[in-house]
Chain A
Amino acid sequence: MTIQVISANRLGDGIVVYLAADGEWSERIVHARVIDGEEQGEAALDVAGGAVEACTVVDPYLIDITDSGGDRRPTLNREMIRAQGPTVRLDVGKQAAR
């Protein structure tokens, strides 16, 4: 089933982040608040808009993901690469810390 999360870039360093369940921003998609449906999406975007105003993040937007037993994967290649790091440098990006 396709669900959604909100992604953005952190203002100070540009790193990809996800809006977490507690309203904070996490570098890990696994911590992202799962959004199911338009109403939840609008509410989450409102929260993200507040983070933009507070100079925490820039350019938040909804992305589609799948969740298979906690294994969350963006459906678009682009978002998959953002979630992990460059496919040609496994030593950099989020994948490097795993």
Chain B
Amino acid sequence: MYLYDAIDQSLVDQRVEQFRGQVRRRMAGALSEDEFKPLRLMNGLYLQLHAYMLRVAIPYGTLSSEQMRKLAHIARDYDKGYGHFTTRQNLQYNWPKLKETPDILAELATVQMHALQTSGNCIRNVTADQYAGVAADEVADPRIVAEVIRQWSTLHPEFSFLPRKFKLAITGSVRDRAAVRVHDIGIVIKRNDEGEIGYQVIVGGGLGRTPIIGVSLRDFLPERHLLSYLEAILRVYNQAGRRDNKYKARIKILVRETGAEEFTRLVESEWEKIRDSAIDLPVDEQARIAAFFAAPPYENLSGDDGEFALHRLEDRDFASWTRTNVAPHKQPGYAIANITLKPEGGIPGDATSEQMDAVAGLAERFSFSEIRVTHEQNLVLPHVRQADLHDLWLTLKRYDLAAPNLGLISDIIACPGMDYCALATARSIPLAQDISTRFADLDRQHDIGELKLKISGCINACGHHHVGHIGILGVDKRGEEYYQITLGGSADEAPSLGKIIGPAVPYGKVVDAIETLTETYLAIRAGDERFVDTVRRAGLDPFKAALYADP
């Protein structure tokens, strides 16, 4: 993992003291709310329905055990004993007090954490593939470039007041687990025929009220040019992006209205002015950062572990968990262990202080003290010996962290919705809970197979409903909660936007509707095709007919 140098630490420490002074002045009346609001937002502090909400950055979803313990401590001592992992790999506390927030930020700074770039019209916290550095199918580790971008973008003077917020995501694998094509900029690390590393640069993707799949500006940008090319894109956006209408201010609107060809020309023209300049990272600095992400000292294991295979044979529940939640590792004898934060009837993404402490301890025992956070609101232990998986699973069960449902219908993304969020128009969480309870039967979930169900409580789409195989969007209709259902979305390497199936359904009928849709899929699927593949092949009509049939 990357470790702060003196400059990083000084920047974060100074920011804490700066904010402490701002809070003091606000409490004393020297700053009005209008003056203070942008300052608190720059430090991740929102005012939500019930209280303040503090969004803590987890850069590219990587945490140490020490950092996770600190998050648990803050939840316990400053909040109400739990936190919420978000779809941008961050953590949100729902009940912090304004007057205590500087102390919380000071605590975070002691473990090299902060809440910078989690709000405001800046380059937001960079996200990445949660399997970075360990995926068997990886071209190169995206954490290195993510850290480079973090350092480049933090307090970047030119890009601190962009027309609108700006989100980047990076994957180093062909398999896209980071939803890069629905970000303002998505980066796919590639290797060319000469064996050199480079980047596919995708621009103008996004969700929200105008969902768009990004377009590729460059299929292979040589590694050394990344920062100057990103700088060129941001400069074009900063100059030409709309500032008169916040709903048309994201770069996706600029790319769409300018046209991909012309936008590319503008970026390339800007880039010609700055390429090979001091903006690009010196090779030795790139190497210095890369060294932090060297593989941990793995044992030299020969291959699949015999004891692991035996436990799978003897324990059906363990076998079930490994089937869904364990992924192949690049190192022989090791595995990637996913911890879904989606127990039956639970709140997607929520974890208690005790659970966070437990995961920190398990990471120490089994995963070189490393933890990842996923944009699908789960956790990952990235380096577990296959021989340790059974012991890991036994402990996870004790903490209600062993739900064997990764990628299944109960592994739901849900935004906080109107239970917490000031922007929401409907609730998301209770629907997720009801759906996970209705589909609790694991055999049934496996029969349905991979199904990405995503719920947003408003048009801002924090729950990524546009790219759910089944997407659910909550809307307010004359004071009643209704839910619009979309089918066929996907955020992977073959992205698509879901299509609205028909009129929205009331809260009380959503779970039945989801059951009707899955039953329809089971009735018409061809072979072992996934839900989303059936939707793509058969279209909406059979689902529409089943859902809106006369009673």
A interface, CB within 8 angstroms of B: 9, 11-16, 52-55, 58-59, 75-78, 81-82, 85-89, 92-93
Contact = CB atoms under 8 A, between A and B. Distances in A.
A86 B26 contact: no
Interface stretch (B365-373, B425-433, B448-456): B425-433
Contacts of B424: 78
B95 A11 contact: no
B49 A81 contact: yes
Q: Which of B51, B424, B427, B481 has the most CB of A within 10 A?
A: B51
A37 B423 CA distance: 28
A85 B52 contact: no
B538 to A, nearest CB: 35
Interface size class of B (residues with CB under 8 A): 20 to 34
B47 A86 contact: no
A86 B428 CA distance: 11
A2 to B, nearest CB: 12
B98 interface: yes
5 contacts: A9-B47, A14-B97, A77-B481, A82-B50, A85-B50
Q: What 8 A-B pairs are tightest by C-beta distance, nearest first?
A: A14-B51, A14-B52, A86-B419, A13-B97, A88-B429, A55-B29, A58-B33, A12-B99
A29 to B, nearest CB: 14
A82 B476 CA distance: 17
B75 interface: no
B347 interface: yes
B527 interface: no
Nearest to A84: B50
Q: Which of B29, B47, B50, B347 has the most CB of A within 10 A?
A: B50
Contacts of B29: 53-55
A92 B420 CA distance: 11
A87 B433 CA distance: 12
A87 B98 CA distance: 24
B50 A14 contact: yes
B27 A12 contact: yes
Contacts of B95: 92
Given A55-B26, A87-B427, A13 B479 contact: no
Contacts of B80: 92
Contact of A76 (B33, B51, B420, B479): B479
B28 interface: yes
A93 B50 contact: yes
Interface string B11-52: 000000000000000111100010000000000000111111
Please classify the interface of chain A as helix (H, G, I), strand (E, B), loop, or mixed, using the class held by over half of its residues.
Answer: loop
B50 A52 contact: no
B74 interface: no
Contacts of B52: 13-14
A81 B429 CA distance: 13
Contacts of A88: 347, 419, 427, 429-430, 433
Nearest to B346: A88
A13 B79 CA distance: 11
Contacts of B28: 55
Contacts of A89: 347, 419
B33 to A, nearest CB: 5
Interface in B483-533: none
Interface string B57-71: 000000000000000
A13 B418 contact: no
Contacts of A77: 418, 476, 479, 481
Contacts of A92: 80, 94-95
B433 A13 contact: no
A55 B35 CA distance: 13
B153 to A, nearest CB: 29
A78 B49 contact: yes
A13 B29 CA distance: 15
Contacts of A16: 49-51
Interface string B429-469: 11001000000000000000000000000000000000000
A8 to B, nearest CB: 11
A86 B51 contact: no
B99 A13 contact: yes
B102 to A, nearest CB: 13
A11 B418 contact: no
A88 B430 CA distance: 6
Nearest to A94: B50
Given A12-B97, A77-B418, A52 B33 contact: yes
A82 B421 CA distance: 10
B47 A14 contact: yes
A9 B420 CA distance: 14
A90 B167 CA distance: 34
A87 B424 CA distance: 14
Nearest to A13: B97
Contacts of B429: 86, 88
B51 A81 contact: no
Contacts of A9: 47, 51
Given A78-B418, A88-B429, A92-B95, 19 more contacts: A9-B47, A9-B51, A13-B97, A13-B99, A14-B47, A15-B50, A58-B33, A58-B47, A75-B479, A77-B479, A81-B49, A81-B419, A82-B50, A86-B420, A87-B430, A88-B433, A89-B347, A89-B419, A92-B94
